[in-house]
Amino acid sequence: MVAGKNVLLGVSGGIAVYKAIALTSKLTQQGANVRVMMTPNSTEFVSPLSFQAISRNSVYVDTFDEKDPTQIAHIDVADWADIVIIAPATANIIGKIANGIADDMLSTTLLATLADVYIAPAMNVHMYAHPAVISNMKQLEEWGYHFIEPGDGYLACGYVGKGRLEEPAEIINVINNHQSIDPFLKGKKVLVSAGPTREQIDPVRFFTNRSSGKMGFALAEAAAKRGAEVTLVAGPTEMEVATTAIRREDVTTAEEMFEAMHQHFPASDIVIKAAAVADYRPKRVHHEKMKKQEDDMFIEMQRTKDILQSLGDIKTNQYLVGFAAETSTPLKYGVQKLTKKNLDGIVINNVSTEGAGFGGDTNIVTYVNKHQRQEEIELSTKQEIAEKILTFIDRDMKDEAQ
């Protein structure tokens, strides 16, 4: 994917600059047109002449070194670039970008470019874990910058840990994979629910289920990767989102999930209710711990609100997808649910099948749309299934629009 692209390689001042030489060479070998821009500190490690010889282009260092009077160099190169790579990216340059500081040619150009920017950090393990660096990276992720995580290993400072610049071949591999992604959900607002709910009995006990939230989180992350603006309503789970681009709202009970889903529903284009919500909750919640009795205990339960049905009743232009986790005749019950709840699509699986139960990393599902078109997805990772489900949704939405 870098072949034929204009690639601006930004080099900041760290010992890993020597790897940027190899990165320049590999980019050139793959057919990229590479220009290199160095911070003054980086020239203390490697001279600009080395990059010039490999890239066969002049190297930018000084903002005020305007070789062509008809152009402003940092604006010209910012507009020229299809892809920008910062490697190595020191804590200093990351901090500058995150805070809008433009005091050298590289930081100034980064404020002016509209190209995809990939940042490959390289620094001491403790610097990489510093709250300021973490905060700056989160801010840049929220703005749409892409990070290529450093590797673990022996660092120049003598420490062993995370902070070593990723190998040039892997940097290019990550960029190629990302550039090949079709952002077919760009401009869409996607709402996903994930995980279980908990219904309290007393201060130490509650009813819940085996849902881990993995499928819902995979859907949210896949939608964000495809360019969507994603809101994830998550029940109590240990899962963490892989990107800060996802807006996460944590809830505990079925009632809280009902309120959150209804709050975000009107502004959503696609709604996927993957959460396993409790159908019943204790009619009475005890505020003190219930003591063990000599006889059997009976807890009276009351019905919770049906979130999916309530959304199906009020949907206008939203594409609404539900999940049906069954243990017998799953297709029959799933299709009934699709029709009864006014859904546009449903994901059906038999949770008693090996490889398809709660908590696992894989699943086996059937996707059925409202026109009864069925798509079988054999045993696959939940990430792979999420990608396919979103592809089906996009296809059906385009069919409806015709």
Domain boundaries, the chain: 6-179, 189-286+299-401
Taking only the tens of pLDDT, the chain with its 402 residues reads 788 899 999 999 999 999 999 999 999 999 999 999 999 999 999 999 999 999 999 999 998 887 777 788 889 999 999 999 999 999 999 999 999 999 999 999 999 999 999 999 999 888 999 999 999 998 998 888 999 988 766 555 555 567 789 999 999 999 988 887 778 898 999 999 999 999 999 999 999 998 999 999 999 999 998 989 999 999 999 998 877 779 999 999 999 999 999 999 999 999 999 999 999 999 999 999 988 888 898 899 999 999 999 999 999 999 999 999 888 888 999 999 999 999 999 999 887 787 777 778 888 999 999 999 999 999 989 999 999 999 999 999 998 877
- C-beta separation of 172 from 2 below 8 A: yes
Torsional sign, CA 169, 175, 178, 180:
negative
Contact between 249 and 232 under an 8 Å Cβ cutoff? The reply is: yes
DSSP 351-362: TTSTT-STT-SE
- Residue 100: how many CB atoms within 10 A of its CB? 9
Task: Tell me which H or E stretch contains 283.
Answer: none
Rounded CA-CA distance 25/34 in Å is 9
Distant-in-sequence contacts of 127-134, Cβ < 8 A, 24+ apart: 127/91, 127/163, 128/91, 128/162, 128/163, 129/162, 130/91, 132/91, 132/95, 133/91, 133/94, 133/95
Task: Return the pLDDT at 320.
Answer: 97
Question: Given 101, 157, 201, 356, which residue is catalytic?
Answer: 157
The CATH architecture of the domain made up of 6-179 is 3-Layer(aba) Sandwich (3.40)
**From the CB of residue 165, how many other CB atoms can be counted at a distance below 10 Å?**
26
Q: Which residues pair with 320 in a beta bridge?
A: 271
Res 360: pLDDT: 82
Task: Supply the pLDDT for residue 48.
Answer: 95
Residues 164 and 122 sit within 8 Å (Cβ to Cβ): yes
Closest C-alpha among 45, 143, 34 to residue 90: 45
Structure confidence at residue 161 (pLDDT): 61
Q: Cα(168)–Cα(150) distance, rounded to whole angstroms?
A: 11
* Predicted pLDDT of residue 237: 93
Can you give the pLDDT at residue 188? 95
Give CA separation, 107 vs 52, 68, 139, in Å.
20, 20, 16
Give me the half-sphere count of Cα atoms (radius 13 Å) on the Cβ side of residue 118. Answer: 27
Tell me if 6-179 shares its fold with 189-286+299-401: yes
CB distance 194 to 275 below 8 Å? yes
pLDDT given at position 155: 56
The answer to whether the peptide bond before residue 40 is cis (omega within 30 degrees of 0) is no
Q: Which CATH class is domain 189-286+299-401?
A: alpha beta
Q: What is the reported pLDDT for 152?
A: 66
Predicted local distance difference test score (pLDDT) of residue 17? 94
- Based on its alpha-carbon atoms, the radius of gyration of the chain, rounded to whole angstroms, reads 26
Specify the pLDDT at position 24. 96
Q: Which residues pair with 229 in a beta bridge?
A: 189
Burial of 371 (0-12, 13-18, 19+ CB in 10 A): exposed
Annotated active-site residue 157? The verdict is yes
For residue 7, the SS3 value is strand
**Does the pTM exceed 0.75?**
no
